Amino acid sequence: MNEMYIYKPETGEQTAINKNSCGIDFLKHDISSPEVETDYINLEGHDGVIDSEGTFESRKITCYFITQARNLHDFYLQQQKIFGLIFERWGYYIRFKRMPGIQYMVKPLPFDIRKVNFKTGEFQIEFTAFKGYGESIGTSLAPFTTDSELWQTGQGLLGTEFEYSFSTNRFKVFNAGDFNINPNFHQLLITITGSSENGLQTEAFASNTGGLQLYNLTTGDRFIYYPALKEGEVLTIDRVYPKLNGVNCGRSTNHELLSLRKGWNTIEILNANRLNVSFDFPFLYK
């Protein structure tokens, strides 16, 4: 039997959609295919059009339900309870037992509950998965085991041991999802401890200025932290925000970020020793 779950990040509340928890029977769901929007380029005298990079548009997820009440009065109470559960000012996640490792950030469209009789109602909800992709429930630092109940087959992870914490200056990070990880838009937390010497804060010699350098050889991205990193200090890059011991330190960097390409990424850390580095991010799926 399929089941549906709602998780609301604002409150940390998770609700299983079933008769016991909320009086609703979840029947099934349909997910629309990905939709790629492309702004083709027209040139006079050029046959056809020129391709450009597409973007993945929002998707529709349609869910079907039945609600059972004791009588007509209870039916309207149940209707109010359903509206209270489904409608929020901000998006929330839904996931399904038949695809237990992937969740979608959604908002619902308006819907009506059709009365079959005085105590039974049928309804379907069309959710907009506005990010255009699904996200793994677990992140890269979670255990990749079936016991964790975070993963599923088809995510490219089970049965293989991938590492996302490192203590060397050169290593590989595997992005198992279908999308590149861009910290401007996606969750990515890089945590670094160790020690480094002061660097020269100038763009003219950015390739080797001293200072701690985090370099993705696969993408060409390079992040530089110029001041000396001392043992016991913690440098994090939380999406677009570099922080030292929790305090913003963007002015002490080269204002660049690290992205992760789909598949393997070769990472090198320069001018630092006694390192411990971790990459924490969810995987994104079509």
pLDDT digits (tens, 9 = 90+) for 98-152: 898 999 999 999 999 999 998 899 999 999 999 999 999 999 999 887 776 788 8
pLDDT at residue number 205: 45
Out of 103, 132, 161, pick the residue that ends a domain.
132
pLDDT at residue number 201: 57
Characterise 259 by phi-psi region: left (phi > 0), alpha (psi -120 to 50), beta (else): beta
Mean pLDDT estimate for the chain: 92
Its domain, for residue 55, covers 4-132
Neighbours of 208 (CB within 10 A): 11
User: 137, 96, 100: which is closest to 4 by C-alpha?
Assistant: 96
Q: Residue 114 is encoded by which pair of tokens?
A: 């059709």
Out of 88, 112, 132, pick the residue that ends a domain.
132
Same domain as 264, residue 151: yes
Out of 132, 167, 182, pick the residue that ends a domain.
132
Same domain as 159, residue 82: no
Same domain as 91, residue 11: yes
Q: How many domains does the chain have?
A: 2
Q: Is the pLDDT of residue 204 over 50?
A: no
Q: With cut-offs at 50, 70 and 90, classify the pLDDT of residue 18.
A: confident
Q: Rounded CA gap, 24 and 16, in Å?
A: 10
Same domain as 257, residue 215: yes
- What's the pLDDT tens digit per position in 144-170? 877 767 888 778 775 677 999 999 999
Same domain as 164, residue 259: yes
Q: Which CATH number does the domain housing residue 65 bear?
A: 2.40.30.200
